Amino acid sequence: MTADLGINFVATEHHDTYPAINPSRSDLKGKVVFITGASKGIGRSMAIAFAQAGVSGLILAARSDMSATKAAVEAAQRPGHQIKVLTVALDASNLAQVESAAAKVEETFGRVDILVNNAGYLGAYGLIGDSDPQEAWKAWSVNVLGTYAVTRAFLPLVLKSSDKTIIIIGSLAGLAKMPNLSAYQTSKLALLRFTELLMTEYGDKGILALCVHPGVIETDMADQVPDVKAGGFGTVDTPELSAHTLTWLVRERRDWLAGRYVSSQWDMEELSAKKQEIIQGDKLKVKMVV
**What is the per-residue pLDDT across 192-217, written as a single tens digit (0 to 9) for each?**
999 999 999 999 999 999 999 999 99
- The predicted structure's pLDDT at residue 289: 85
Run of H or E including 167: strand 165-169
Verdict on whether the full-model pTM lies above 0.75: yes
Name the residues annotated as catalytic. 184, 188
Residue 126 vs residues 1, 27, 144, 173: alpha-carbon distances, Å = 19, 44, 20, 15
Q: Which residues contact 252 (CB under 8 A, 6 or more apart)?
A: none
**Range name among 23-27, 211-215, 235-239, 265-269 with the lowest pLDDT average:** 235-239
Q: Quick one: pLDDT at residue 219?
A: 62
Residue from 14, 8, 117, 114 nearest 61 by CA: 117
Nearest by Cα to 43 from 274, 194, 221: 221
Locate the domains of the chain by residue range: 3-281
Note whether 77 and 28 are within 8 A (CB): no
Output the CATH code of domain 3-281.
3.40.50.720
**pLDDT tens string 252-261:** 999 999 999 9
Q: Which residue type sits at 4?
A: D
Instruction: Categorise residue 112: left if φ over 0, alpha if ψ from -120 to 50, beta otherwise.
Output: beta
Least confident range of 50-54, 98-102, 178-182, 238-242: 178-182
CA angle 20, 261, 56 (to 5 degrees): 55
Query: What's the DSSP call for residue 178?
Result: -
H or E stretch including 184?
helix 182-202
How far apart are alpha carbons 181 and 268 in whole angstroms? 29
Query: What's the one-letter identity of residue 12?
Result: T
For 171-196, how does the pLDDT look when each residue is reduced to its tens digit (9 = 90+)?
A: 999 999 999 999 999 999 999 999 99
The residue ranges of DSSP E strands in 23-151, in sequence order, are 32-36, 57-62, 84-89, 114-117
- Sign for the CA dihedral angle at 100, 106, 109, 114 comes to positive
Residues 6+ apart with CB under 8 A from 90: 36, 61, 62, 63, 97, 98, 101, 119
Asked if 89 and 141 touch (Cβ cutoff 8 Å), the reply is: no
Helix axes 239-249, 41-52, angle to 10 degrees: 50
Residue 40's nearest CA partner among 229, 239, 264 is 239
